[in-house]
Amino acid sequence: MLYIVLFFTFFSFFLYVLLGGADFGAGIIELFASPKDKETARNISYRVLGPVWEVNHIWLIILIVILWVAFPGYFNVIMIYLHLPFVLILLGITLRGVAFIFRHYDAVVDRSQVLYNWMFRISSFITPIFLGMSFGALIGGEIIITEDYAGYSFFEIFIDPWLNYFTLLVGLFYATLCAFMASTLLIGETQGEARKMFSRKSANYTLLLVIIGLILVAYGYFTEVEFILDFITNPVSIGAIVLSAILLIPLWKSIRKQNRIWSRWLAGIQVVLVLFAAIYAHFPYIIITSEKELSLLEGVAPDEVISNLAIMLIIGGAVILPGLFHLMRSFNMIKILEKEKEEMKP
């Protein structure tokens, strides 16, 4: 039963990183695009992400609920020591969500659109950075777990662990990853000029991603971040990374050919490989503090709770996944397939 819960934990984690990430990415692309491209990106992100964007973010709620139900000890540490970045993340999610809905559902289209647009773009960029920084803090080895709060300064306990160069790099890495996923996804949803734009952006973001990734690993190596050291000495992780590096070649080819289906799959697989590599080397010790490594399984909930949760997740999954699949098919995949049919007819 524990394995079912673990499966759903990582399933929702990966889906949030992928789908929620692509969602953030659409806003990031908009932020860094030229004024003309901004307009294109805005319209496309509404059409493609509109029907599913809210769903994408529910994976985060599912993940949080699983964490607190099944891994309360782990959740407790995150919630106490990463309070501040999570406040910023929540602020970002809130502003971004309302900005998206305001700009598309406001009955009057006027100058307030400018405000909504910038609110949406900036929060789309900031939120994944703070998400990345929080993850970076968990693995960065700077968290001090203590009962003696008077013995340390506020900065030492509540700020330093998540605000340093390493976490900033992780944050930037995730934000770039989001932009990379979004641009690759959107290649398949557009035509003509817009499609060329996303292909170009996708290639650029892939390059940027590889560069930041290398800097991140190098920085972690030279400052002896334990997570990185273990990561680059674990054969399975290295294997996964090598595989994802090899896959870069067909990915670039398919992006250049503007192949919608392949580039999407390859990008998805690559992201999962990198995440897998990162987590595998350390599983189940996913919090690394200044003194010790904390296991996800430390303070795991009692068996009855785990079994109950597993059953709930299976029932929930059985209800949700077909519906979700149908939703995506109704608004994305079918449209693509139909368009392809149309294109085939000269």
Partner 1 sequence: MENVDFARLQMAFTLGFHIIFACIGMVMPFFMVVSHKKWLNTRNPLYLELTKAWQKGVAIFFVTGAVSGTALSFELGMLWPEFMKHAGPIIGMPFSLEGAAFFVEAIALGFYLYGWDKLPEKFHWFTGIIIGLSGVASGILVVSANGWMNAPSGFDYINGEFTNIDPVQAFLNPAWFTQALHMTLAAFVATSFAVAGVHAYQIYKGRRIELHKKAFKIAIVFGAVAAILQPISGDLSAKDIAKRQPVKLAAMEAHYETQKGAPLFIGGIVNEKEKEVNYKIEIPGALSFLAFGDFDAEVKGLNAFPQDELPPVAIVHYAFQIMVGLGTLLMLSGLFYFLSTRKKHWQSKKKYWLFFTFLAPLGFIALEAGWVVTEVGRQPWIIHKIMRTKDAVTPMPGMEFSFYMYVLVYVTLAITVTWLMRRQIKVLNASKY
Q: Which is nearer to partner 1, 94 or 223 (CB)?
A: 94
Question: What is the sign of the dihedral through the CA atoms of 281, 287, 292 and 298?
Answer: negative
Q: Kindly indicate which of the ranges 23-31, 209-217, 223-231, 303-311 contains the residues binding partner 1, using the contact rule CB under 8 A.
A: 303-311
Buried b (16+ CB within 10 A) or exposed e, 225-254: bebbebbeebeebeebbeebeebeeebbeb
Number of residues engaging partner 1 in binding (CB under 8 A): 61
φ/ψ (deg, to 5) at 160: -50, -40
User: What is the nearest approach in angstroms of partner 1 to the Cβ of residue 54?
Assistant: 5
Torsion of CA 173, 324, 52, 332, to 10 degrees: 100
Query: Does residue number 309 form part of the binding site for partner 1 (CB under 8 A)?
Result: yes
Angle between helices 303-328 and 53-70 (to 10 degrees): 170
**Contact with partner 1 (CB under 8 A): which of 207, 245, 305, 336?**
305
Rounded Cα distance, 78 and 90, in Å? 14
Rounded Cα distance, 53 and 20, in Å? 8
**Contact with partner 1 (CB under 8 A): which of 93, 175, 185, 241?**
93
User: What is the nearest approach in angstroms of partner 1 to the Cβ of residue 122?
Assistant: 15
Read off the tokens for 62.
């599912």
User: What is the nearest approach in angstroms of partner 1 to the Cβ of residue 165?
Assistant: 24
Specify the residue for token string 């394995």: 3
Q: Could you tell me if 176 and 204 are in contact, meaning their C-beta atoms sit under 8 angstroms apart?
A: no
Q: Which is nearer to partner 1, 68 or 280 (CB)?
A: 68
Q: Which is nearer to partner 1, 121 or 201 (CB)?
A: 121
Q: Kindly indicate which of the ranges 65-73, 222-230, 259-267, 289-297 contains the residues binding partner 1, using the contact rule CB under 8 A.
A: 65-73
Read off the tokens for 196.
């060329």
Between β-strands 287-288 and 293-294, what pairing exists: parallel, antiparallel or unpaired?
antiparallel
Query: Does residue number 301 form part of the binding site for partner 1 (CB under 8 A)?
Result: yes
Q: Which is nearer to partner 1, 100 or 231 (CB)?
A: 100
Q: Which is nearer to partner 1, 64 or 207 (CB)?
A: 64
Query: Does residue number 338 form part of the binding site for partner 1 (CB under 8 A)?
Result: no
User: What is the nearest approach in angstroms of partner 1 to the Cβ of residue 27?
Assistant: 15
> 293 - beta bridge partners?
288
**Contact with partner 1 (CB under 8 A): which of 2, 4, 101, 168?**
101
User: What is the nearest approach in angstroms of partner 1 to the Cβ of residue 158?
Assistant: 6
Rounded Cα distance, 253 and 99, in Å? 36
Rounded Cα distance, 35 and 97, in Å? 22
Read off the tokens for 300.
């795991």
**Contact with partner 1 (CB under 8 A): which of 315, 329, 333, 340?**
315
**Contact with partner 1 (CB under 8 A): which of 1, 33, 65, 168?**
65
Q: Which is nearer to partner 1, 270 or 332 (CB)?
A: 332
Query: Does residue number 43 form part of the binding site for partner 1 (CB under 8 A)?
Result: no
Q: Which helix (H) or strand (E) holds 293?
A: strand 293-294
> Angle CA(129)–CA(130)–CA(131) in degrees, nearest 5?
90
Q: Kindly indicate which of the ranges 24-32, 53-61, 190-198, 212-220 contains the residues binding partner 1, using the contact rule CB under 8 A.
A: 53-61
Torsion of CA 183, 250, 282, 223, to 10 degrees: -80
Q: What is the 3-state secondary structure (H, E, C) of 136-172?
A: HHHHCCCECCCCCHHHCCHHHHHHCCCCCHHHHHHHH
**Contact with partner 1 (CB under 8 A): which of 100, 120, 125, 231?**
100
User: What is the nearest approach in angstroms of partner 1 to the Cβ of residue 183?
Assistant: 23
Rounded Cα distance, 133 and 201, in Å? 24
Residues that bind partner 1 (CB under 8 A): 50-52, 54-55, 57-58, 60-62, 64-66, 68-70, 72-73, 75-76, 78-80, 83, 86-87, 90-91, 93-95, 97-98, 100-102, 105-108, 149, 154, 158, 299, 301-302, 304-305, 308-309, 312-313, 315-316, 319-320, 323-324, 327, 330-331
